[in-house]
Structure 1
């Protein structure tokens, strides 16, 4: 990549890593379902006035919005609200890689390759270590962890849907992100009304301060519109093998920001679990290329 694109990629990684800190701050000022609904309402409006809709069937737009937008962030926001630390959330959400591989096998008949099986085994073992450490460490609730895993599963399923949409060759990424954002506000606001109550919604909206407004602006315009637009552009200019490994830096950034800004600390076993998850993700990203190089080396005279 040229220097300009390296800088853009690092800006997105920083924005997505810092995103978990911003979510934590947002949950200090408003309930999770209301926060999610306002976020995606702001992503959709006024952007739909300037960006053409994707040329796909409505059912695929709905499937994209209900999984990768509503399902993922409803569970993530609820998990963080119920005790999932921001730094660990940035890492555990990367379990989406495991679910993407599993859904690809179940729904598309694509069995995992050797390095992908190793990724699933190693990263799953790391997640199990983190889950077992939650209560002992006192800084992570089991329900928060389970909900974040659910968010990763929704992201993984959304990746399969996104892949199918991409195979149609007629959907532009920004149109998909912006018009797909019309779907989640409705279930978010319905859940907010029934789970959080009209009184809390009213007090949150009438007491909307500068902090809450800045949180919403960041989540909608920086993490979503800027992040997806730049990342999509990088994926059109370079192969996924060049761009995708940079996502490994997102949980690193999230953990560092959480330690510095939120005073989140981890014990040695949690760091061991984190290392196993990162190793598993690294095996998935680089294992195939190493295997191919080894095979090519064997065929050389």
Structure 2
């Protein structure tokens, strides 16, 4: 990989990792989680006016948008508002990799490899360790379960994406058009769950941190991040680019520590380490051993 492209890959992982900190900043600025998620996709969908439409059926687009965006981010944002610190959220969200393999095995009858099974076992041991720390450091069981449910929704979306076929457009155009799907559902959920009074108060008192948080998660984390990712995927094998996603939990935890002062403790650090080890076992393709002469 060229040095400039390596820098782009590292930039993307940093943008995605810091995304969790900006979500926390938006929530602390007074934005209700579902409203914040809806506003994010209003900004994400703006370029759809000049970007080409993906060659995917309307039904498949709606299903993908429902799971990849509505379910994932409604649950993630609500989970973080309910008591899930940003650094820990960035790690637990990566359980989508193992949940994707599990759902694909159940729905698509894909038999997971021994490596995938081992990786899932290690990662779930890490999640079990993290669950023992509920009630300390600002973590609640509701926050943990909601974030894991968001990861499960992401995993369902991944399985749907595998059956959709090539979209015929770049990653930026694809994500932009998908971003049109969750706008109305998320606004409707916000209206029902959070209420018109909370929405009106949040919009009337929208401040600079809230605006910056929305712009960051929409433009930098989504449009720029996925645009760079698609650019790299088009030029290098997936096995070269995909492992960089393993850095997202690390950049997320590091940025949360530096910006919000989040601390983890030995048990939680051990759980996070097990999740990352499980990801490496599953996703990293080690070079084959040379046959003996």
TM-score, normalised relative to structure 2: 0.96
Question: How far apart in 2 are the matches of 1:112 and 1:194?
Answer: 40
Task: Give the corresponding residue for 1:36.
Answer: 37
RMSD (CA atoms): 1.3
Alignment of 1:189-268 (within 5 A): 189-268=187-266
Deviation track 1:212-237 (CA, whole Å, cap 9, x = no partner) reads: 11111111110000001110111111
Structure 1: runs of 5 or more not aligned: none
Shift of 1:169: 5.5
Aligned partners of 1:56 and 1:171 also within 8 Å: no
Task: Give the corresponding residue for 1:144.
Answer: 143
Which of residues 258, 268, 271 is equivalent to 2:269?
271
Q: Would you tell me which structure has more helix in proportion to its own residues?
A: 1
Pairs aligned (count): 292
Please say if 1:84 is aligned against 2:84: yes
Question: How far apart in 1 are the matches of 2:168 and 2:48?
Answer: 18
SS at match of 1:134: coil
Task: Give the corresponding residue for 1:26.
Answer: 26
Question: How far apart in 2 are the matches of 1:250 and 1:95?
Answer: 13
Aligned partners of 1:43 and 1:181 also within 8 Å: yes
Task: Give the corresponding residue for 2:158.
Answer: 159
Shift of 1:170: 3.0
Alignment of 1:47-196 (within 5 A): 47-135=47-135, 137-165=136-164, 167-168=165-166, 170-196=168-194
Aligned partners of 1:79 and 1:145 also within 8 Å: yes
Aligned partners of 1:61 and 1:176 also within 8 Å: no
TM-score, normalised relative to structure 1: 0.94
Task: Give the corresponding residue for 2:286.
Answer: 289
SS at match of 2:83: coil
SS at match of 2:89: helix
Shift of 1:249: 1.0
Deviation track 1:97-118 (CA, whole Å, cap 9, x = no partner) reads: 0111112211222111010000
